[in-house]
Amino acid sequence: MATTRTERIARLRGLYAVTPEMEDDDVLVALVESALAGGARLVQYRAKASAPSVRVRQAVALARACRHHGALFIVNDDARLAIDSGADGVHLGAQDGDPRAVRLAWPDAILGVSCYDRPELAVAAAEAGADYVGIGSVFASRVKPGAVRAPLERLAQARSASGLAVAAIGGITAANAPLAVAAGADMVAVISALFDSPDVAQAARELSRPFDTEPHSHVRTQPTAL
């Protein structure tokens, strides 16, 4: 199991499972266990509407499951919850806090930042200490139907400009995941096509398949000017 930030950065590749909002702890953990068994390499706990006590309980349980499977565990939005639950890091959106402050408070964290359709935000994220950026919505999203669309070329642009690993998000399915990976995604972040499947483990295997054929090329590069 990797323990340093550098070792964790090297593992930023593959299927990035983003959890659905769910009150039933046992069902949520079972779904995530299935995704991990099918090949998910990262899990992001996303629970914006749940009570604080539920969030703590679920995050601790999911962190334990991820450690068992050798996967990275990231908490959406909440750095304090991430630290308290034993997560590997935190993912911040535009309104979720200052990446610089998180990096200063938690030097070893894996820090992800949403950059939507704007590669220039990826540059700012890198300067603030981020380890990866999220770009999307790369396809039409059922979870966020009004989300700004990001053309696939934004993936390579963001990586080239920032030197960071890039997670594609938004409307990703087993059918279109190869397009995102071929366009430069180091990770594909998926909710619906994974957790709405009647066979989550099989869905995870299918979503992971593009990473078996594309070369591993997310290693940090010297950023280029936009």
Strand-pair partners of 114: 134
- What residues pair up with 3 in beta bridges, in sequence order? none
Query: What CATH code is assigned to 5-211?
Result: 3.20.20.70
Give residue 144's pLDDT: 76
pLDDT for 13-69, tens place per residue?
A: 999 999 999 999 999 999 999 999 999 999 999 999 899 999 999 999 999 999 999
The more confidently predicted of residues 1 and 137 is 137
42-45 and 14-18 as β-strands: parallel, antiparallel, unpaired? parallel
Q: Which pLDDT value is given to residue 59? A: 99
Domain boundaries, the chain: 5-211
Q: For 113-139, write each residue's pLDDT tens digit.
A: 999 999 999 999 999 999 999 999 999
Catalytic sites, residue numbers: 46, 114, 144
Segment 171-204, tens digit of pLDDT? 999 999 999 999 999 999 999 999 999 999 999 9
Residues ≥6 apart with Cβ < 8 Å to 118? 154
